[in-house]
Amino acid sequence: MNKGPNTKSRPHVAVIGGSASGFFTATLLARAGCAVDVLERADQLDPTPRTLIVTSHMRTLLGQLGESAIVNEIRKFELFTDGRTAQVPLNRPDLIIERSRLIHSLAEDAKSHGAKVSFGNRFVNLQSNGTGLRVHMERAQNAGAEELHADVVVGADGALSSVAQSAGWPRQPTVPLVQAIVRVPSDMSADTVRVWFVPDDTPYFYWLIPESNDRAVLGLIGEDGQETRRCLDRFMEKRGFTPLGYQGARIPVYDRWTPVERRVGAGRVFLVGDAAGQVKVSTVGGIVTGLRGAIGVSDSIVNGGESRELRSLRRELDLHLFIRKTIHQFKQADYSRLVDLMNDSTRRSLSQYNRDEASRVLWNIAVSQPRLLLLALRGLLSGASILPKK
Ligand SMILES: Cc1cc2nc3c(=O)[nH]c(=O)nc-3n(C[C@H](O)[C@H](O)[C@H](O)COP(=O)(O)OP(=O)(O)OC[C@H]3O[C@@H](n4cnc5c(N)ncnc54)[C@H](O)[C@@H]3O)c2cc1C
């Protein structure tokens, strides 16, 4: 998106939340000629470090900008369940990134394109001011109230978004994600991710993701925070891992597409990233999908109407929902059969595409290994629900 000749009519946008999806949205809007303010509640840019795995699509989206955040590349997945194993080589490597480095790069880029970034500003609520939106903020240092006027507000303020709440979106469901920092086991190579299916502990899976030859993160998603931590500790004790630290937070569970725009009077309010639940529910990847959401939201703001990127993101998230629903009720026997069925042709189809391209992966599995799909459909037909039990 280049600055067009028509930039005078571009709206003034307030982006709430200075993290991956907020800063990327700010860059795209500033590049298109909008006046952009990014308002972040933290006192300074000091994002919590986290080791994340993303698909190589991040490189396509960010180019050079993302390179400084990449700490490792993954070329193989090893799947374990009940004494069985299967290996899935990747044609295009997945990337291990350090979240705080990525956010620093995105923040610099947003500023260099003219976005104004201010810290220590907590969004409180918004309302119509007749022609646009009045945004109420609170200064973190002295709790002083501040007011800002904008044509458009973008809520990039995470899973428990206050912007979403203030503009009337229903609250989205969330689940706890916990991971421990551990040493890489001596029998494991740093270009491999390990995944364990243990349905008695979690309907999701355990993962072990190396960020270097020495350090890895071992984690899981659960349904209840304390129980999830207990499961992780038990799992580590059984396999001889010593935790060197923990990372964790609640993440949104995508259970349906969230329309990203609402009108408040004459003003337009958008959600992006975790605030809009743009997280793949099968693998809980939220970085690449949040960046794609940012492209879609900035397109909608600048060009009006439906964004192609958002339509395609929605299809992708819905497919991941389909996959998750199909396996959410799997019992141990189902996982055992799944791993047994990972024959050569299935492996090829899994490795050929990256984990963002769920539709093509599903199609290839359906063609090469119909029994796998039948197994998955059984899960669907048994009425699998992916929401945490109340
Ligand atoms: C432990 C863990 C591991 C993960 N692993 C992976 C992984 O391997 N791969 C992957 O792709 N994804 C992973 N995710 C998910 C991924 O981290 C998120 O989807 C992504 O970081 C969301 O980015 P975001 O910019 O939308 O929101 P956030 O990063 O949550 O940013 C929201 C920002 O808004 C600010 N904010 C909140 N409220 C206010 C307010 N009232 N006023 C002003 N500012 C406010 C916050 O301070 C924050 O800076 C993981 C998540 C966790 C917790």
CATH number of the domain at 199, please.
Answer: 3.30.9.10
Q: Is the domain of 193 the same as that of 334? A: no
Q: 20 in ligand 1 pocket by Cβ < 6 Å?
A: yes
What confidence tier does 383 reach under pLDDT thresholds 50, 70, 90? very low
- Ligand 1: residue whose CA is nearest its atom 2: 248
* Contact indicator for 248, 178 with CB cutoff of 8 Å: yes
What is the rounded distance in angstroms from the CA atom of residue 267 to the CA atom of residue 140? 26
Q: 14 in ligand 1 pocket by Cβ < 6 Å?
A: no
Q: Is the domain of 159 the same as that of 203? A: no
DSSP readout, 220-274? EE-SSHHHHHHHHHHHHHHHT---SEEEEEEEE--SSPPP-EEEETTEEEEE-GG
Local structure of residue 132 (DSSP, 8 states): S
End-to-end CA distance of the chain: 45
Q: Is the domain of 199 the same as that of 270? A: no
Q: 52 in ligand 1 pocket by Cβ < 6 Å?
A: yes
Mean pLDDT, the chain, integer: 88
- Domain stop point among 215, 232, 252: 252
Domain count, the chain: 3
* Residue 58 belongs to a domain: no
Q: Is the domain of 146 the same as that of 113? A: yes
Structural domain harbouring 124: 7-47+100-172+254-320
Q: Is the domain of 168 the same as that of 185? A: no
Q: 297 in ligand 1 pocket by Cβ < 6 Å?
A: no
What confidence tier does 372 reach under pLDDT thresholds 50, 70, 90? low
pLDDT at 3: 39
Q: Is the domain of 204 the same as that of 334? A: no
* Residue 229 belongs to a domain: yes
What confidence tier does 361 reach under pLDDT thresholds 50, 70, 90? low
pLDDT at 344: 56
* Residue 387 belongs to a domain: no
- Ligand 1: residue whose CA is nearest its atom 13: 285
CATH of the domain at 311: 3.50.50.60
Which range, 85-89, 116-120, 342-346, is most confident? 116-120
Q: 158 in ligand 1 pocket by Cβ < 6 Å?
A: yes
Q: Is the domain of 259 the same as that of 147? A: yes
Asked if the model's pLDDT at residue 37 lies above 80, the reply is yes
pTM: 0.90
